[in-house]
Amino acid sequence: MIPNGYLMFEDENFIESSVAKLNALRKSGQFCDVRLQVCGREMLAHRAVLACCSPYLFEIFNSDSDSHGISHIKFDDLNPDAVEVLLNYAYTAQLKADKELVKDVYSAAKKLKMERVKQVCGDYLLSKMDVQSCISYRNFVSSMGDSRLLSKIDGYIQEHLLQISEQEEFLKLPRLKLEVMLEDNVGLPSNGKLYTKVINWVQHSIWENGGSLEDLMEEVQTLYYSADHKLLDGNLLDGQAEVYGSDDDHIQFVQKKPPRENDHKQISSSFSGSPSATVQSPKHEWKIIASEKTSSNTYLCLAVLDSVLCVIFLHGRNSPQSSPTSTPRLLKSLSFELHPNDVVEKPMSPMQYARSGLGTAELNGKLIAAGGYNREECLRTVECYDPQKDTWTFIAPMRTPRARFQMAVLMGQLYVVGGSNGHSDDLSCGETYKPEIDDWTPVPELRTNRCNAGVCALNGKLYVVGGSDPYGQKGLKNCDVFDPLTKSWTSCAPLNIRKFAAQLGKEERRHQSAVCEVGGYLYIIGGAESWNCLSSVERYNPENNTWTLMAPMNVARRGAGVAVRDGKLFVGGGFDGFHAVSCMEMYDPTKNEWKMMGNMTTPRSNAGITTVANTIYAVGGFDGNEFLNTVEAYNPESNEWSAYTKIPKF
């Protein structure tokens, strides 16, 4: 075909033919300019081909001072057969590996940063996993640091814990056996609350008392749960120990021997914050994977304690005579026959991706979590949580990777505007999600580029309030309004800087604020001016286009989440200028008062907090060490947060 005098021709067989010839040249050693030595086996290849498929090798070649000679690269930690599989893939785009070799191919792909191959191998391993092999699969995936696969395996374990507990691999795991003595008329707390207390007790036993996890596992540990909800060391009953202070979760610990000096040095170097905060170390993993309440006073849990995968078996008793002498093997049929009406508490299913700075909203009875960022990238994926089924599914991804933004629902559609895409902190673009077609479409750009802005729907319009400038440090005071009918942006009154200048001695500009609507008013709560955290609160009246200063919060914070329930505002998490916080407070608009409420189970900064079906959920965020994919819910009757959900046993 020759349009406009130009010759155009496409050879459909050229690529396939060239690929086959390149692979033949590799196998014969012709024109090869890179030599791989993998555990003593030598392999020849072409630098340009490998650089195209392996970012790891691209970096090596790019830094090679002798780019015209033959590159020599040595690997002593990879399987030569697995590397050969990857070489064939690089030249043919075909991945062929025996099932026994897939783990080694996965490891080699991880080393070479071949993400697509790594994902395919991971999905293949998941497809072959069953109750007999899931423990060994989890150990392998954990050693690879693959959070995506790990969350899927943990979800599988949550669903099949009793069957898995009967398998040989499970029975070989190290076990922590606990007896909890109960006062008269006192029962064990909920499953999730109980293990929060237990894990904190183990942490204190190791880091404060100078013990070790191995020592705790040598014999049955006797604890005592009192009527005032304190978990105490059993030695306290004999008067042989001294009780030390309690933290916010009413957990007390007993020091059996003087702490080692080296332990305190390690703690102080990795932990900062208030003395009452739970000690955490970024190098050690503590996590509940799955748990079962197998009888009224018997619990089983699979957990990671100090980065060790192990089983916690816990038995509550009212007298020493009822104490078990060993850890019994659980029988699924027995537990079902004895307790057919019991429910099982299990950790709420996590998101597929850890997300901080995400957008959350309630849409059609589901919780929507969009975008956000983790240590690796800015996300455009969107996940949908069904509280009834405790499951996450994906809906259509956003058109633009986006973090440091908020999301609102207007006329049955999701709206996101501004934010950061990982490269630019001053996005002006926006988009809307239509659930009936499961797709996102663009909306007119913002009048002012901004990220970390508050977004809220009010009286059929979309409000964008405050935010930060392109450099991300100076707050903005201007506010814009979007009309979905005219598809146009207009300005409304800026934050009331004149009143604040008199009361606070400076202009009040805000970014990373929590924004919501209640009672026909718009509230902007906390945030920061530069990096100074704010406790102040403003209320916008659309009737007269004015902002009014309201009662301040008890805790100054930025990056907090806000939800509305029963006409009251619940603000939780955020960053107080020193560390991520877990505290929550409630605002009553009729009294213009703030009241401290129950703490979240995990500190969360830049998390999403949303009300779905009259339940407040907190998702994602950053706890000061890790980006989170976990979920927890608030129970106003007990004033407690829980990371667990109740499901029928059958």
- For 188, residues 6+ apart whose C-beta sits below 8 A from its C-beta are 180, 182, 194, 225, 297, 299, 316
* pLDDT at residue 206, as a whole number: 81
- Kindly give the pairing relationship between strand 584-588 and strand 593-597: antiparallel
- pLDDT band of 261, cuts 50, 70, 90: very low
CA-to-CA separations, 135 to 50, 132, 454, in angstroms, rounded: 35, 7, 44
Domains of the chain: 13-128 (3.30.710.10), 173-234+284-318 (no CATH), 347-643 (2.120.10.80)
**How many whole angstroms from its chain centre is CA 487?**
35
pLDDT tens per residue across span 45-67: 998 899 888 998 988 888 765 55
The 10 Å CB-count burial string (b at 16+, else e) for 57-88 is bbebbeeeeeeeeebebebeebbbbbbbbbbb
Per-residue pLDDT reduced to its tens digit, 456-506:
999 999 999 998 865 545 678 889 999 999 999 999 999 874 444 444 444
Ranges 231-245, 289-303, 415-429: which has the least confidence:
231-245
- Which residues are CB-neighbours of 304 under 8 A, at least 6 positions away? 285, 286, 287, 289, 310
The number of C-alpha atoms within 13 Å of 404 and in the hemisphere containing its C-beta is 29
Average pLDDT over residues 132-157: 90
Residue type present at position 24: A
CB 475 within 8 A of CB 527: yes
pLDDT at 256 over 50: no
- Give me the chain's average pLDDT, please: 81
The pLDDT score that the predictor gives to residue 572 is: 97
User: How confident is residue 602, by pLDDT bands cut at 50, 70 and 90?
Assistant: very high
pLDDT > 90? residue 639: yes
* Rg (the chain; Cα; Å): 28
Q: pLDDT tens digits, residue range 74-112?
A: 998 899 999 999 999 988 888 999 999 999 999 999 999
* Residue 333 confidence (pLDDT) above 70: no
pLDDT in tens, 170-226: 988 999 998 888 766 667 766 667 777 888 888 878 876 777 888 888 888 888 877
pLDDT single digits (tens) 385-430: 999 889 999 999 999 999 999 999 999 999 999 998 877 656 889 9
Instruction: Let me know: does 618 contact 560? Beta carbons within 8 Å.
Output: no
Given a cut of 50, is residue 143 above it in pLDDT? yes
State the DSSP code for 205: I
Report the 10 Å Cβ neighbour count for 143. Answer: 9
Provide the residue count of the chain. Answer: 650
Cβ–Cβ < 8 Å for 88, 108: no
Residue 320 CB burial class (10 angstroms; 0-12, 13-18, ≥19): exposed
Largest alpha-carbon pair distance within the chain? Answer: 99
Residues 263-282 have pLDDT tens digits of 333 322 222 233 333 333 33
Q: Over 70: is that where the pLDDT of 645 sits?
A: yes
Task: Tell me the C-alpha to C-alpha distance, in Å, between residue 281 and each of 194, 203, 278.
Answer: 21, 10, 10
- To the question of pTM greater than 0.85 for the whole model, the response is no
> In this structure, what are the phi and psi dihedrals at residue 420, rounded to the nearest 5 degrees?
-125, 145
Q: So what's the pLDDT on residue 607? A: 97
43 forms beta bridges with 36
Among 252-261, 339-348, 449-458, where is mean pLDDT lowest?
252-261
Answer whether residue 616 shows pLDDT above 50.
yes
Paired tokens of 469? 């400038």
Residues 6+ apart with CB under 8 A from 175: 217, 310, 311, 312, 313, 327
Whether pLDDT at 357 is above 50: yes
Whether the per-residue pLDDT at 338 is higher than 50: the answer is no
What value does the mean pLDDT take over residues 24-41?
87
Least-confidence region, from 90-104, 503-517, 620-634 = 503-517
More confident residue, 242 or 352: 352
Cα–Cα distance for residue pair 612/123, rounded to 1 Å: 32
H helices of 74-205, where? Answer: 80-92, 102-111, 115-128, 134-144, 147-159, 161-164, 168-171, 191-203
**How many Å apart are CA 578 and CA 565, to the nearest integer?**
29
Strand ranges of the sheet holding 514-518, from the earlier edge strand across to the other edge: 514-518, 521-525, 537-541, 546-550
Does residue 624 register a pLDDT over 50?
yes
**Does the pLDDT value for residue 41 go beyond 60?**
yes
Say what the pLDDT of residue 469 is.
Answer: 65
Q: What's the confidence (pLDDT) of residue 559?
A: 95
What pLDDT sits at residue 430?
A: 93
Between 212 and 117, whose confidence is greater? 117
